[in-house]
Amino acid sequence: AQRVTQPEKLLSVFKGAPVELKCNYSYSGSPELFWYVQYSRQRLQLLLRHISRESIKGFTADLNKGETSFHLKKPFAQEEDSAMYYCALRNTGNQFYFGTGTSLTVIP
Amino acid sequence: DGGITQSPKYLFRKEGQNVTLSCEQNLNHDAMYWYRQDPGQGLRLIYYSQIVNDFQKGDIAEGYSVSREKKESFPLTVTSAQKNPTAFYLCASSPWDNTYEQYFGPGTRLTVT
């Protein structure tokens, strides 16, 4: 069965500090993984996907199949990064599975 | 203003009544999804549709029904058989390409008393 786990419900870091939001998954096939973000009073939106290997707003995420992880990282957190972050997995049947989310607060 | 819309924003119903939540998109997306969001549980897939007149159950389809008669519309009916209908419901759409990016609506908060 597919499953996405985000172990941290809440995460606080100081501005300028590195941040890492953890995501682990279980899936027997070849996964497609995504990070979605929801800023205050905005809709849930895509932040990045592993297949494009891009850096968005300074965030990167590397798929580690050995550890079944897709952690989201940023070297220097900014106040505007404060938001709710969801890790998601898409299976071959085009179903999506979301984690429970991590609320990130960047302290000025 | 293009995008995906859900109405109403808040909905109140009495127990035992069916209620239909609206989801419309003008993005010409093929796929549409319904999720339920409960505190501490993230988003859980109720139903999804990849083309008109076709839809599949997600993990928590019991007590819900959908239709996809038009590409732009994917209404969700919460039936009286749903044991815990009070929740926040999110609709999303996605193009049928290799991006698989989901575009989310603003959500509908349903309260059943």
More confident residue, B101 or A80: A80
Question: Does the beta carbon of B58 lie under 8 angstroms from any beta carbon of chain A?
Answer: yes
In this prediction, residue B100 carries a pLDDT of 78
CA distance B50 to B105: 17
In this prediction, residue B6 carries a pLDDT of 96
8 Å CB contact of A86 and B43: yes
8 Å CB contact of B104 and A43: yes
What is the full DSSP assignment across B82-103? -S---EEEEEEEE-SSTT---E
pLDDT digits (tens, 9 = 90+) for B57-103: 999 999 999 999 999 999 999 998 888 999 999 999 998 776 778 99
Residue A8 CB contacts under 8 Å (≥ 6 apart), including other chains: A21, A22, A102
Residues of chain A with Cβ-Cβ distance to B27 below 8 Å are none
Residue of B nearest to A51 (CA): B99
pLDDT digits (tens, 9 = 90+) for B7-19: 999 999 999 899 9
pLDDT digits (tens, 9 = 90+) for A48-63: 988 777 888 999 998 9
